[in-house]
Amino acid sequence: MQKIKNIILDYGNVIFMIDFQKVRKSFIELGVEQVDDYFGHRGQDSLFDSFDRGEITAKEFRDSVRNKTKKHDLTDQEIDDAWNSLLIGVPPGKHELLEELHSRYRMFLLSNNNEIHYAYCMNHLQEVYGIPSNEEFFEKTYYSHLVGLRKPDEAIFQMVLSAHGLNPEETLFVDDSPQHLETASKMGIHTALCSLEHPLEAIVDNFKLL
């Protein structure tokens, strides 16, 4: 394996912890039936994909949730609170690890995100850590809803590689979704699956990055 010079990190469950069971429970509590048909870790309704790509606004997303679930009395706040309930936060120590990696490697963030979650995450960074965004930890951040592409589509990976002249053989991509890693691997990028049992810290140790 060639020496790793570039690291591309996913955000959810790599840096910012999320809990898919919490959002499932929140939507069920709102009276949404068959919630598993709409949203999950490995797949989701096309509505969420469109929102992730920024093809629809937050208002259009909320209206679509009401229509799909036939719960037309749901308020914007109820939908936002349920949708944001999967967002737990950045654990202590993660930012310090990012700073150390950033001092040694070209670092990039590649996140499937959306208007509502993005606002919540940025507010969390400001309120809890006193920083405005993730820009200080990365050479460049890529959020799906701002670039119009999402993982696991090859195009978003190619965008990052091409924009920065990255050699896939010198690049490591870390994500918590196997389907995202599969695309990256096919493009010649080194990959690592992040999980609660095998977090970013363990991956850093395994690849001897620090």
Q: How far apart are CA 90 and CA 12, in angstroms?
A: 9
Ranges for all domains in the chain classified under CATH 1.10.150.240: 20-84
Instruction: For residue 112, give every residue at least 6 positions away whose Cβ sits within 8 Å of its Cβ, in sequence order, or none.
Output: 10, 12, 52, 144, 150, 151
Return the CATH superfamily for domain 20-84. Answer: Putative phosphatase; domain 2 (1.10.150.240)
pLDDT digits (tens, 9 = 90+) for 184-206: 999 999 999 999 999 999 999 99
SS (H, E, C) 30-42: CCCCCHHHCECCC
Token pair, residue 12, equals: 């959810």
Residue bearing the bigger pLDDT, 151 or 27: 151
pLDDT digits (tens, 9 = 90+) for 58-68: 999 999 889 88
Torsion of CA 115, 116, 117, 118, to 10 degrees: 40
Bridge-based pairing state of the strands 106-111 and 140-143: parallel
Residue at token pair 């691997």: 185
pLDDT digits (tens, 9 = 90+) for 118-172: 999 999 999 999 999 999 999 999 999 999 999 999 999 999 999 999 999 999 9
Ranges for all domains in the chain classified under CATH 3.40.50.1000: 6-17+91-206
Return the CATH superfamily for domain 6-17+91-206. Answer: HAD superfamily/HAD-like (3.40.50.1000)
pLDDT at 35 over 90: no
